[in-house]
Amino acid sequence: MKINDIKGLILPNKKDEEFLKINLDALFSYDFKEQQTYEFDIMGLETIEDKNTYDSILFDITRSIDNTQKVITINKNIAEPIFLIHKIKEDETFFTNSLKIKVAKGIKAQLVEVFVTNSKNSLYSVNRNFELDENANLEYVKVQDINESNSFIFNSNIEQKNSSNIDFTNFEYGNGFILNNFINNINSEKITYNLNGLVKLKDDTTCSNLIKTVHNAQSSISDINYKHSLKDSSKAVFKAKSLVNETALFTKAFQNTNTILLSDDAVIFAQPHLEINIDELEASHGATTGTLDKEQLLYLESRGIPKELAYDILLKAFEEKIANNIKDEIIKEFIEIYERSKYV
């Protein structure tokens, strides 16, 4: 089956402003031999029809195949994080998966998802809905580690009630073609939304992050922070748009992305964007691109540290700033010792 052939499905066009610099033609025209819904090995999950209206047509790729979603409801505090491990081994297969994660009023929860593939020419298209009730707190961490020739589309839609908090951290380690899409329409007051990401690429990998945040309510915070470490001929796209409307007094909206290019052929397209319609707020955005600091390298070498080790030390210090934002110690330790070989 070809995604291009799905009846009634409107697909993004690289000429559209949102998808500039992202070439989806080859993926959408590829003829997959099989199509499957990826099922969780969890008993008792509720299944509902996905009737949401989304700001992005990317969600419809998954819904065009299966318009139902599983629901995980967290209604009591849990001592340890929930781990969901996705393993794709089948070749030439288009997989879909949709999940709603609901956190009840006043509940604190932690959830980790790991996406790994050991297949050839497969696509995994994933939809995630996050629904946080009043005073709920969720720490969510995603690790993406697909192998070469595969593709991964990850869509997330976040809904938060008053005084809720979500800490969302992404680790992009895989090869292939990756597209992440994050949407949060902030319609309640005193919300905190932290979105952090480490994009660590090599070879011919392409990873794109599309981020849209709309502030409609007062006294809320959005803080978007991404770091890119790019080798070989890898390519990253970072497009973040934060819209602050007239009703969102006393908002705090921040965007920042830093990139280290580790080869002459690596490419970053970074476009942080703020659209502000009020004066009563705090806001900033920025993007930097460069190489490892030569003076710092020379300093470490002058202290007897070999050049290659000095290089690794500086790169690790740059990348670890994202992991250091993780609050849960079990998750932080998991990220520190994560190895792809344990899951494929």
Give the pLDDT mean for 102-116.
Answer: 98
Structure token digits, residue 21: 């610099």
| 260 lies in some domain | yes
| 233 lies in some domain | yes
Comparing C-alpha atoms, which of 49, 52, 58, 116 is closest to residue 86?
116
d(CA 240, CA 163): 24
- According to the model, what pLDDT value does residue 298 have? 81
- According to the model, what pLDDT value does residue 197 have? 98
| 49 lies in some domain | yes
pLDDT tens string 227-243: 999 999 999 999 999 99
pLDDT band at 312 (very low <50, low <70, confident <90, very high): confident
| 75 lies in some domain | yes
- According to the model, what pLDDT value does residue 117 have? 95
pLDDT band at 159 (very low <50, low <70, confident <90, very high): very high
| 322 lies in some domain | no
d(CA 197, CA 322): 6
- According to the model, what pLDDT value does residue 152 have? 98
Structure token digits, residue 60: 């419809």
| 321 lies in some domain | no
What DSSP string describes 159-190? EE-TT-EEEEEEEE---SEEEEEEEEEE-SSS
- According to the model, what pLDDT value does residue 295 have? 80
- According to the model, what pLDDT value does residue 99 have? 97
Beta-bridged to residue 108, according to DSSP, are 137
Q: Helix, strand, coil: what percent of the chain each, to 5? A: 15, 45, 40
- According to the model, what pLDDT value does residue 306 have? 81
pLDDT exceeds 80 at position 293: no
| 17 lies in some domain | yes
pLDDT band at 96 (very low <50, low <70, confident <90, very high): very high
pLDDT exceeds 80 at position 14: no
pLDDT band at 17 (very low <50, low <70, confident <90, very high): confident
**SS3 state at 62:** helix
pLDDT band at 42 (very low <50, low <70, confident <90, very high): confident
pLDDT band at 93 (very low <50, low <70, confident <90, very high): very high
| 27 lies in some domain | yes
pLDDT exceeds 80 at position 294: no
pLDDT exceeds 80 at position 129: yes
Angle subtended at Cα 42 by Cα 39 and Cα 45, rounded to the nearest 5 degrees: 90
Give the pLDDT mean for 119-141.
Answer: 98
pTM value > 0.85: yes
d(CA 77, CA 137): 10
Structure token digits, residue 121: 């020419």
Structure token digits, residue 29: 């025209």
pLDDT band at 302 (very low <50, low <70, confident <90, very high): confident
Element (H, E) at 302: helix 294-302
pLDDT tens string 177-231: 999 999 999 999 999 999 999 999 999 999 999 999 999 999 999 999 999 999 9
Q: Which domain holds residue 98?
A: 3-293
Comparing C-alpha atoms, which of 130, 95, 5, 12 is closest to residue 60?
12
- According to the model, what pLDDT value does residue 288 have? 94
How many distinct structural domains can be found in the chain?
1
pLDDT tens string 19-36: 888 989 999 999 999 999
